[in-house]
Amino acid sequence: MRRPRTISRAAPLREPEAQAAPLRPASYSDAGLTELFLDMIAAEQGASANTLDAYRRDLADLSHFLSRRRLSIGSADTAALRSYLADLDNRGFATSSVARRLSALRHLFRFLLSERIRADDPAAILAGPKRGRSLPKVLSIADVDRLLACARQEIDAAEGGARLRAARLNCLLEVLYATGLRVSELVSLPLSAARRDARMIVVRGKGDKERLVPLNAGAKQAMARYLEEMAVAKDPKDGPTPKWLFPSFGESGYLTRQHFARDLKDLAARAGLSPRLVSPHVLRHAFASHLLHNGADLRIVQTLLGHSDISTTQIYTHVVEERLKSLVRDLHPLGEGR
């Protein structure tokens, strides 16, 4: 359900011809303009809480920079915004981070122009940093096998609450590698996703869009074992069955992304892998890369990952290119393999 966009200050009624004139940006604080903008992207674009938090942090940093120059979001010009981007570079921000901040600026000032809060768009002509094509970190199939084997062994070696936590980590890992879910989608799975006869799970992703993702046998077995451990550890005083597959006492009711990431890095160290190279997002990359390496179509991988644009998925084309080269080398009559 869309939330109506409102402007927080009360405005007197105006004649129709006066309504085309821009409102005075000085009437609003930077925080007020930021919240108006966030309300819009939440209502019209279905932005998630994580996306809204990221925009809020980026725009607060911009506001702080402008305030040191006696400027504000309502009064900043193109030169001030260029100075801000240069300041990000001087502070050592990665090119991708500067590009993300610039995207936030463009969205914000385009919104202020459309709402007639500003009469111009100072971010419209800003040029972004040139970005090289960066390839995602990917674990090999052998590395993933080591992680999975270590996670399974730790369930058998643990007792009591530690056994339940080990079963949970194994379940998270198996489901993540089997489905390629975003970590926020994974930790917020409902308990119904672990139905005994489930071959597919419904995932609610970015923009509140739903997609179907298949489960393999390993993921279903890990879910079943985890539910068994939950049943053993359940105390009658705990109350009703939780709504979430990975419940927690936190505000959201389910395990946080940060908690899972920490547990995963600890597991990587115990499995003999570098924790620096292992994260939930790296396992999502491994899911996509290993599928493509084994012949999956790029469009299918796009659907499974929940990418709205194929260009996002095309970062994995290096995997397809390598596979095509190996096919020509091994199968062509004049190839090196003959």
Residue tagged active-site, from 55, 226, 254, 316: 316
**Of 60, 38, 57, whose CA–CA distance to 47 is shortest?**
38
CA neighbours closer than 13 Å in the CB half-sphere of residue 259? 16
Catalytic annotation on 316? Answer: yes
Name 283's Cβ contacts closer than 8 Å, sequence gap at least 6: 139, 144, 173, 176, 177, 264
Catalytic annotation on 332? Answer: no
Residue tagged active-site, from 5, 110, 307, 318: 307
Residue tagged active-site, from 182, 220, 285, 290: 182
Two structure tokens written together for 164: 């339940």
Residue tagged active-site, from 5, 204, 206, 318: 206
Which region, left, alpha or beta, applies to residue 206 given φ > 0 means left and ψ of -120 to 50 means alpha? beta
Catalytic annotation on 259? Answer: no
Residue tagged active-site, from 101, 168, 257, 284: 284
Q: 157, exposed or middle or buried, with CB in 10 Å at 0-12, 13-18, 19+?
A: exposed
Name 149's Cβ contacts closer than 8 Å, sequence gap at least 6: 271
Catalytic annotation on 220? Answer: no
Residue tagged active-site, from 163, 165, 281, 318: 281
**Radius of gyration of the chain, Cα coordinates, nearest whole angstrom:** 25
Catalytic annotation on 284? Answer: yes
Give the distance from CA 169 to its chain's centroid: 20
Q: If you ran DSSP here, which 8-state letter would residue 244 be given?
A: B
**Catalytic site residues?**
182, 206, 281, 284, 307, 316
